[in-house]
Amino acid sequence: MSAPEIVLVPVRRCALGTVRPVVCRSGGERTGIAFSSAERLRAALGPDVCSLSLGMHALHEMLADSGVAVVRVDPDAVVSGVRSATARQPDERDARARSGRRSR
Q: How does DSSP assign 71-104, residue by residue?
A: EEES-SSPPTTHHHHTBSS--HHHHHHHHT----
- How far does the chain reach from its first CA to its final CA, in angstroms? 43
Residue 62 CA from chain centroid, whole number:
11
pTM summary value: 0.69
- Kindly give the confidence (pLDDT) of every residue in the chain, 104 residues in length, as a single tens digit, with 9 standing for 90 and above: 566 799 999 998 887 877 788 888 877 888 999 999 999 999 999 999 899 999 999 999 999 988 999 999 998 766 545 555 555 444 444 444 445 544 44
Q: Which CATH architecture has domain 6-91?
A: 3-Layer(aba) Sandwich (3.40)
